[in-house]
Amino acid sequence: MSQRPSDLAQILFVPAVLAAVSGAGLVLALLVDGPLDALTWPAIGAPPAVILWALAKRRAPRH
């Protein structure tokens, strides 16, 4: 049996980090131009990537 987060800080830690990374990526995308835009793509793409990972993990067959 896996451990479950017990307090609010543990539950909200990952969503808060994703929000901060995504927000920083969006701000940087507005401020920088040219090849530096490529540096912001992973930050902006992190939340959808995590959602797809979680959906794939949820639908994976369990043994």
Give me the pLDDT at residue 59, please: 82
Give me the pLDDT at residue 3, please: 62
Give me the pLDDT at residue 61, please: 76
In a domain, 31, yes or no: yes
Closest CA to 21 of 42, 37, 36, 35: 42
In a domain, 1, yes or no: no
Calpha distance 57→63 (Å, rounded):
13
Contact 39, 32 (CB under 8 A): yes
User: What is the domain range of residue 54?
Assistant: 11-59
Give me the pLDDT at residue 2, please: 59
Give me the pLDDT at residue 24, please: 94
In a domain, 42, yes or no: yes
Tally of domains within the chain: 1
In a domain, 43, yes or no: yes
In a domain, 26, yes or no: yes
In a domain, 27, yes or no: yes
Give me the pLDDT at residue 5, please: 57
| pLDDT, tens digit only, all 63 positions of the chain | 456 657 888 889 999 999 999 999 999 999 999 888 998 999 999 999 999 999 998 887 776
In a domain, 19, yes or no: yes
